[in-house]
Amino acid sequence: MADMSKLLIQARQAAEASYSPYSRFRVGAALLCKDGTVVTGTNVENRSFGLTNCAERSAIFSAISAGKNEFEAIAVSTPDSAAAVAPCGACRQVLSEFVKADFPVAFAGRDQSVEATLGELYPFDSLHDLKNIRSG
């Protein structure tokens, strides 16, 4: 079982490395791998906003690059927001490539934290829905 409070602390620490000169909105992520390794990521902005990369995807891409592709949980911290901010749609889509609907996701701002599953955040996952249709 993942210690989500510990992961949220690591995500908050990862947010300190954020490169966000345009939005000034730091985001950090801590991804717990099946082997117990925690891979962190932060948002990296670009003046062409379409080229910006989110913290969650930075963590996932770093983990995959390191040869890790089995994950237990993820935590996301947005210290510049009082409210908890959930992963964006692109991050939910990328997460769904590697994990099942019961995958734990925690996200926290300064004053609020939320724990959910990827299935609760992304209830209609076409990748897994298509697999079920083909096998059914």
For residue 22, count other CB atoms closer than 10 A to its CB: 11
Evaluate the CA torsion angle 60, 71, 117, 75 in order and state its sign: negative
- Give catalytic residues, as residue numbers: 56
14, burial (CB in 10 Å: exposed 0-12, middle 13-18, buried 19+): buried
Alpha carbon distance 127, 114 (integer Å): 25
Structure letter (DSSP) for residue 116: E
Separation CA 84–CA 26 (nearest Å): 13
Separation of alpha carbons 53 and 46, rounded Å: 8
